[in-house]
Structure 1
Amino acid sequence: MNILPKKLTTIASALLLGAALTGTSAMTYAQNINPNEPVSIVAEWDKTFPQSNKVEHRKVTFKNRYGITLVGDLYLPKNRGNNKLAAIAVSGPFGAVKEQSSGLYAQTLAERGFITLAFDPSYTGESGGEPRNVASPDINTEDFSAAVDFLGLQQEIDRNRIGILGICGWGGMALNAVAADTRVKAVATSVMYDMSRVMAKGLFDSMTAEQRHAALDQISQQRWSDAENGKPASMAGGLPNTLPADANPIIKEFYDYYKVPRGFHTRSVNSNGAWTATTAHSFMNIPMMSYANEITIPALIVTGEKAHSRYFAEDAYKAIGGKNKELVIVPNANHVDLYDNQAGKIPFDKFEQFYKTSLR
């Protein structure tokens, strides 16, 4: 089900429900006895990137404020000594899992001396929460604070030196989190999306008032169907299983990550699933960047020169109230170039420098 009128289908409609486009088939899970408990905890290495021999890896769980158990990968430098270290919580992109981009960022930063945590947000991946494949501006922002709770209790970590990093749609969540959670001492984003803005206004703010009303009406009517059926329907549309020859460049960009071995993962909504058809409802009425002017901690906003999401990063940089902020535009990089390092464009040196300076 597309939530926009027909003239705004394809890219805009799909992106409204995810910074990376979703597939067409619903991912299925065994019913949990407790719907808030993990869906799975896979012990073996099943990431889309090779395991580092410089880093210790632990599978961990922790609960958020709503009682949902989140599953994460904790990465610790092997030669860390006895001193407490700075820590970074990482999540994103929107609809991805910790075995994809966020895990790569976390492991790489752990190689550079930080303890890092890549986690699956509520309702996705291995983390708990029912129904599956739904997102929330409130609950998913809370997930970042829950990660901070967990990190601050680890004996190897200095709880006064915790930062967070949000990729793609979780960039907006990260900024929303630090606007309220004063325990976080530094925040960075990579090719960020403001999910509330894109869902409320469309990609490039292209949605008219009439189209917004039609989208809200369609979602509202879908709620009747979901209530009658006793479960939420999945969204139709999104990334095709086979890329057409005339595919739009943005669709091709996402396809070339999520649908091919480079980035495919069976638990990723974007690779092998679909968001619920009503996922956008709360995002369309709860703007997450409302208090960005209150962010005063160090902030690093990274985006690509050719990223279609660049305007989100530039506007977020302007909105952040603190003076200790930096906007980095990676030359010749598109949005997905900064999901992994296939093109060698993720500025890990910059992230390392930022966190080492900000989390001293």
Structure 2
Amino acid sequence: MKLTGAGVTALAVASFLPTPDAKATTMTSNWDKVFPRNEAVDHQKVSFTNRYGVTLSGDLYRPKGRDGERLAALAVGGPFGAVKEQSSGLYAQTMAARGFVALAFDASFTGESGGEPRNLASPDINTEDFMAAVDFLGLHPSVDQERIGVIGICGWGGMALNAVATDKRVKAVATSTMYDMSRVMSRGYNDSVTPEQRAQSLEQMSRQRWIDARNGAPAYGPAANELKGGEPQFLVDYHAYYMTPRGYHARAVNSGNAWTITTPLSFMNFPLMTYIAEISPRPILLIHGENAHSRYFSETAFAAAAEPKELLIIPGASHVDLYDRVDLIPFDRLTEFFQEHLS
């Protein structure tokens, strides 16, 4: 995810790039993750369809030696602009090693999932993607459908909370280094976008629709997470994950690819946190780094949520640290949380 101060304006005025050649790819059977395989966990490529008819691609992780049991399950998504071979897959495999069935999946229009045009996001459709993952898990023979939880990472943390507020089948939700994408796209970081800047962004993106309609395809913004010098530290941190062997994946939007220029439009008037209090009485665990530039998203969500809720701040951690730093990601607390509430 890369949006600077007035993030929407920056995206909207970007140079117009042609439609990328990327298409939804046939699911690979190779291990092409950015993290090592855990031999204590079974891995299976799966697909399922959401309510809008988009076929989603996932990696299903199950603990070995538990065949014939119906286990608690987790749907895991994020970060925004990432693919299941990155952070969500690491979380899913790690939780599977701790006794859960866990599904990491690509969002509609990204990665190996279907949907055209490519590299597009929608707060409604991406919320539905989480619900479709719950559909899939609840019908899987290794899952107890009354014991399903959700983990949302980065921008998919906001989508996870929105999904769980609606989907009463989910018994518990945790987010890690959460972004409220509707807030940052409509107001910029730390709500710094002025009404005039917002109006300008909407004007530009509205007119971009005529250009896209005339061309028969959307234009794309700048390549994500390329550095030119002088960027704030959090953008340097994104580059260090998405653009180096640590986390680079060719299918990820954030690894040097680009979103459609009009992607922010659907987020501008769609506040994801409106009904967060309706998650109660089901529990929420919000995890964030002490030094994360995005920490205020979790703090605001925590204030708006109803009990039971917990805000866990990880000392010394940045936003990106919680993507893959297994020494900092509180997997013990995540395990305890879901063992308690999916029992």
TM range (shorter): over 0.9
State the distance in 1 between where 2:66 and 2:223 align: 47
**Does the CA-based 8 Å contact 1:27-1:272 persist in structure 2?**
no
State the distance in 2 between where 1:14 and 1:234 align: 15
Unaligned runs of 5+ in 2: 12-16
State the distance in 1 between where 2:145 and 2:286 align: 23
AA aligned opposite 1:326: E
1:82 aligned counterpart, secondary structure:
coil
Q: Choose which of 287, 300, 303 in structure 2 pairs with 1:318.
A: 303
Q: Relative to 1, partners in 2 of residues 1:72 and 1:238: Cα closer, same or farther, differing over 3 Å?
A: closer
Deviation of the 1:318 alpha carbon: 1.2
Q: Counterpart of 2:330?
A: 347
Q: Counterpart of 2:14?
A: none
Q: Relative to 1, partners in 2 of residues 1:141 and 1:331: Cα closer, same or farther, differing over 3 Å?
A: same
Q: Counterpart of 1:3?
A: none
1:134 aligned counterpart, secondary structure:
coil
**Does the CA-based 8 Å contact 1:17-1:275 persist in structure 2?**
no
Q: Counterpart of 1:33?
A: none
Q: Counterpart of 1:76?
A: 62
State the distance in 2 between where 1:176 and 1:63 align: 19
Q: Relative to 1, partners in 2 of residues 1:151 and 1:179: Cα closer, same or farther, differing over 3 Å?
A: same
AA aligned opposite 1:233: A
TM-score relative to the length of structure 1: 0.90
- Could you give the per-residue CA deviations for residues 291-320 of structure 1, whole angstroms, max 9, x where no partner exists? 111111111000000001100001111111
1:179 aligned counterpart, secondary structure:
helix
Deviation of the 1:251 alpha carbon: 1.2
Q: Choose which of 5, 16, 31 in structure 2 pairs with 1:12.
A: 5
Q: Counterpart of 2:230?
A: 246
Q: Counterpart of 1:65?
A: 51
**Does the CA-based 8 Å contact 1:88-1:165 persist in structure 2?**
yes
- Could you give the per-residue CA deviations for residues 109-155 of structure 1, whole angstroms, max 9, x where no partner exists? 00000000000010000000000000001000000000000000111
Q: Relative to 1, partners in 2 of residues 1:102 and 1:236: Cα closer, same or farther, differing over 3 Å?
A: same
State the distance in 1 between where 2:3 and 2:68 align: 53
**Does the CA-based 8 Å contact 1:191-1:303 persist in structure 2?**
yes
1:270 aligned counterpart, secondary structure:
coil
**Does the CA-based 8 Å contact 2:6-2:193 persist in structure 1?**
no
AA aligned opposite 1:324: P
Q: Choose which of 22, 29, 46 in structure 1 pairs with 2:22.
A: 29
AA aligned opposite 2:332: D
Deviation of the 1:221 alpha carbon: 1.0
Q: Relative to 1, partners in 2 of residues 1:17 and 1:181: Cα closer, same or farther, differing over 3 Å?
A: farther
- Could you give the per-residue CA deviations for residues 177-202 of structure 1, whole angstroms, max 9, x where no partner exists? 01100000000000000100111111
Q: Counterpart of 2:254?
A: 270
- Could you give the per-residue CA deviations for residues 49-94 of structure 1, whole angstroms, max 9, x where no partner exists? 0000000000000000000000000000002253210000000000
1:267 aligned counterpart, secondary structure:
coil
Q: Counterpart of 2:39?
A: 53
**Does the CA-based 8 Å contact 1:16-1:198 persist in structure 2?**
no
Q: Does 1:304 align with 2:304?
A: no
State the distance in 1 between where 2:142 and 2:253 align: 33
**Does the CA-based 8 Å contact 1:92-1:171 persist in structure 2?**
yes
Deviation of the 1:29 alpha carbon: 2.4
**Does the CA-based 8 Å contact 2:7-2:189 persist in structure 1?**
no
Q: Counterpart of 1:141?
A: 127
State the distance in 2 between where 1:244 and 1:300 align: 37
Q: Counterpart of 2:316?
A: 332
TM-score relative to the length of structure 2: 0.94
AA aligned opposite 2:101: I
1:272 aligned counterpart, secondary structure:
coil
AA aligned opposite 2:234: I
Q: Choose which of 198, 223, 244 in structure 2 pairs with 1:260.
A: 244
2:254 aligned counterpart, secondary structure:
helix
State the distance in 2 between where 1:186 and 1:121 align: 21
Q: Choose which of 112, 116, 120 in structure 1 pairs with 2:106.
A: 120
Q: Relative to 1, partners in 2 of residues 1:263 and 1:26: Cα closer, same or farther, differing over 3 Å?
A: farther
Q: Relative to 1, partners in 2 of residues 1:312 and 1:221: Cα closer, same or farther, differing over 3 Å?
A: same
